Structure 1
């Protein structure tokens, strides 16, 4: 993982294949270097937005990797890979670690499908970490040209101390790839598709709330923050805290994106977006703190207070979201349901919400055809945790914002939910 600041940037040209198309539809700056390439596989297999399910549970579960070390929210890659399987609809089978490049390449599927690999970023020449920093990093490797060459697909996006990492697809000679991975541990992960788990939004909010209530009760945020504030080596503590806030920042941005898709236009979606922006600001402040400490100056003392406040605010939002009358339940007011419908259609079409709101017949909008109608219906069912009756799916109703609003109010009021 990288502790550097994240800023959006111009992406390099990508080839027109399913993996590259998936990258174009992902905000790769909201994912870490293990998640990001699994997200590409999921969206390529199950459609755009599948990867957002990784943001449904904004967990805070710090661990102490070894006695005497600072706590970290970073998961070991094997644990993280296991936790990604169900939401992404992927079966990810990690094989034994290999240290010989040719042995790794023999595991590449002959049909040209990708092998997901976690290895050392220090060995990957398309990354700015190459030759500079050792860290676990994922990449997708595919055999091309009958096995003579190997294609590396890496969607990682981050500003690093050594330059910018951007999504890339590059083709290397097989012998070159074998040399890159010789003598360095690499974990091959075979990939199979599975049905993605259906997200029950209200139940997810309830699970988040229970977990958050426990964190508030035992003040996990206070203990975690104090470990960095009170550490005798503030240079080490600030450097570690930069990585922590980088990881927490990305996870909260991903949670905000999931909330915006699952509960578009809601007060909860707006609140999580504001909270994500606050995390982004803290990550920048921690970067400044590291630079100051490196120059022999004291770190800004407010970073620890702000960190604890943001963690507690995360938990309070999660608890509040599951209470009756908040979170998803607030959408049962007609005006709020209308906002949700407009936002959902605008997101599906990639157009301005004002354009949707001003249109009587959605079929007149560019791109609104059968596929987009179906995607809109499915998103609204997921957002309200309902299942529209087949007899209610009349094209005349589905082509109007008002028709969709009426359908949601009628179905939600009848309590017709997903099973």
Structure 2
């Protein structure tokens, strides 16, 4: 298989960076994301600003499915299902295409403007990864045309220690024919990406996210799902297979909890919830390390340490208890930044009217813009209420308020300040 002409670790790229994807990688804790999330995160931060990707950590999930073979459950999602869940939190429109088995056909999907195509393919065929030639597994990457289409870059922000060596964020450059050969004969799923306008308007309020987490957690605490999950690995007759599978499970859970802690720290900095989430993430990291040791021990014919299964169930219950407590005591959500409110209002109005944000920002009377009417005013109000998790008082919805960016910004500020007072 052809080797890349150039392959550069992202950490070795020299300043100043003019590549938005490389710049985005620099601002991401890539160790908190799995191989499907991480490259979508790069696109989101490049489109909407550093830190956007942390919205993926809001929901604290424990959802299992049956493996296609064997009796073990898994928290690992099917890649297509996971991609569908990425779109909303990241502010991206993700159009999932049919699998392609010809490299040339895949590269024909590359955006002509040099933008990136998100792809889920087989890590076994990706030379920059330690899995290359060793293990088949679904893996995402970004492909983009350079040099007028004569070359193709593969951008991959995946970061992990593997049994075959270290994977680190990298940008590799291939001749177009070389890049096509990487994907010949193995299904690859192309995903076209378009940033959605006004990512702030789509961001779910903290209180709402915490309430959804608490609803899921209450169901978990009412049953024995954590214990049944842990016992499935404990009771499997083939403990070598069980430990290998459990290593992946705890790796995925640890990364998701690390990302959740980053989200809480971002949305409720300095809160007791942020401190507790960081402690939970550290506990999951410790368990993942214990599972690695257990896997190595069983390969040598030694018994599996029994505490890993009890710890697994205990941590799942502790996560759920924290989720319920966080919703009960409140989010500690900081007051919205007025400058961010103005950007959100401007972007929301521009999206509703199909107008240039600069034109929206530059007028003191929105009714002068083409397409402005009562229906558009209502849609703007509803979007802003959804964005900030509030309901505007009917008496505040005066025409003069709704016809200007300043009026809408003031409306959001007054309402969110009133909500903060009510919660204090």
TM-score band by shorter chain is: 0.7 to 0.9
Q: State how 1:1-20 maps to structure 2 within 5 Å.
A: 11-13=11-13, 16-20=18-22
Residue 303 of structure 2 is aligned to residue 295 of structure 1: no
Q: Matched residue of 1:108: which SS?
A: coil
Distance 1:314 1:153 in 2: 34
User: Which of 412, 418, 421 is equivalent to 1:413?
Assistant: 421
Note the aligned Cα RMSD (angstroms): 3.1
Q: How far 1:377 moved relative to its partner?
A: 9.9
Q: How far 1:200 moved relative to its partner?
A: 1.1
Q: How far 1:133 moved relative to its partner?
A: 1.1
Q: State how 1:36-51 maps to structure 2 within 5 Å.
A: 36-51=38-53
User: Which of 122, 125, 136 is equivalent to 2:124?
Assistant: 122
Q: How far 1:16 moved relative to its partner?
A: 3.0
Q: How far 1:230 moved relative to its partner?
A: 0.5
**Residues 409 and 374 (structure 1 numbering): CA distance in 2 closer, same or farther, change over 3 Å?**
closer
**Residues 235 and 217 (structure 1 numbering): CA distance in 2 closer, same or farther, change over 3 Å?**
same
Q: How many residues align?
A: 357
Contact 1:34 1:138 in 2 (8 A): yes
Distance 1:85 1:268 in 2: 26
Distance 1:70 1:115 in 2: 34
**Residues 384 and 114 (structure 1 numbering): CA distance in 2 closer, same or farther, change over 3 Å?**
closer
Contact 1:201 1:383 in 2 (8 A): no
Residue 330 of structure 2 is aligned to residue 327 of structure 1: yes
Aligned residue in 2 for 1:398: none
Q: How far 1:387 moved relative to its partner?
A: 11
Q: How far 1:219 moved relative to its partner?
A: 1.6
Contact 1:121 1:133 in 2 (8 A): yes
Distance 2:168 2:254 in 1: 18
TM-score by length of 1: 0.78
Q: How far 1:386 moved relative to its partner?
A: 7.5
Aligned residue in 2 for 1:98: 100
Distance 1:211 1:414 in 2: 26
Aligned residue in 2 for 1:189: 191
Aligned residue in 2 for 1:200: 205
Deviates more, 1:101-110 or 1:66-75: 66-75
Aligned residue in 2 for 1:74: 76
Distance 1:314 1:101 in 2: 43
Q: State how 1:105-116 maps to structure 2 within 5 Å.
A: 105-116=107-118
Deviates more, 1:381-390 or 1:122-131: 381-390
The C-alpha deviation readout for 1:29-52, integer Å capped at 9, x for no partner, is 000000000001111111111111
Residue 277 of structure 2 is aligned to residue 312 of structure 1: no
Q: How far 1:322 moved relative to its partner?
A: 1.0
**Residues 410 and 82 (structure 1 numbering): CA distance in 2 closer, same or farther, change over 3 Å?**
closer
**Residues 377 and 191 (structure 1 numbering): CA distance in 2 closer, same or farther, change over 3 Å?**
closer
Aligned residue in 2 for 1:268: 273
TM-score by length of 2: 0.77
Aligned residue in 1 for 2:283: 278
User: Which of 225, 241, 244 is equivalent to 1:239?
Assistant: 244
Q: How far 1:321 moved relative to its partner?
A: 0.9
Runs of 4+ in 1 over 6 A off after TM superposition: 376-379, 381-391, 407-411
Contact 2:205 2:388 in 1 (8 A): no
Contact 1:263 1:383 in 2 (8 A): no
Distance 1:94 1:288 in 2: 38
